[in-house]
Structure 1
Amino acid sequence: MRFSELDTPAVVVDLDILERNLKEMAEYCSRHGLSLRPHTKTHKIPDIARMQVRSGARGITVAKMGEAELMVREGFDDILIAYPLVGPLKLQRLIELTRKSRVAVSTDSLEVAEEIARAVRNAGTTVRLLAEMDAGLRRCGVQTTEELVALAQGMTKLPG
């Protein structure tokens, strides 16, 4: 098949390059004592995520609840949801995920962390909460080290 014959949108992957990139990243992290948890938001493809885990990733990162649910259905058991979850429907879906997989959620808000902690505690399950600091893009995350410390300290006091 020629590229011009592909119906779009289509995913086209050079497996040799992908495998080389996965190997190089795993080796880099190993050399530097780093733990790798790749974000799947670009590809959203379970088979590629499996390749990432087989190459040494400790788990995967997703952007949204639906992506997390897909990856759990596909057998992944260590997932970080990178964007905060707000509202009762999302919290109920999170609770269901925590019964099937190790789940972490990052947030830059103690109020959101409190809601998540309360929901999982009331459901008799747990979730890992991570304090998020802005990486310079000013999209999400607290802005200062002081804010990060205060958020993390507040989160350590939460049940669940």
Structure 2
Amino acid sequence: MTATPFVDHYAQAAQRAYAIAGIARDRFAPPETLLVLGQIARHLDQAGAFLDALKPGAYVSLPVEATEALWLADTLAEDHPATRFPIGFTNYVLQPLTDRSLPFPDPLFPVTDRFGRQEADLVHALHQLHGDNKHQWERTDHWLCEVFTVWQKHMRLADEVRVDNARPCNQH
């Protein structure tokens, strides 16, 4: 029997917070959205710092300051969909500590077949990424970049589907 390596779940959560903050800073967006992305990144950095300060070992509780910073980041993303961060995206940070479910998109119900195929491909990619535990833990930053790229594409597709479904020729 081989011993499994020790995993510091607090450090993993902190790394995830920092990685997503980097993703927020790297996004291209209009100036008003860039301001919000900067605020989201700062909240994620704060959460990461609070999580990083915790000693490895038995799980005791989440620091209130970290959960507040994550809540603020989530709230900003929900209030500003142009950031292209899904509702509940901070569960990617908390998942190593709480085993919370990772966010998943609601069905778009596109009328146009092309959009239906695109949605199916993106949903499949997200399923694959969520199930890739080795990639999640060993190459966390890369994994999160892939996850949030898929989310960004899905959220853009959702906008296109809303417009396409509202076209008079697609009304049944």
Structure with the largest fraction of helix: 2
Structure with the largest fraction of strand: 1
TM-score where L is the length of structure 2: 0.25
TM-score where L is the length of structure 1: 0.26
Where relative contact order (Cα < 8 A, 6+ residues apart) is larger, the structure is 2
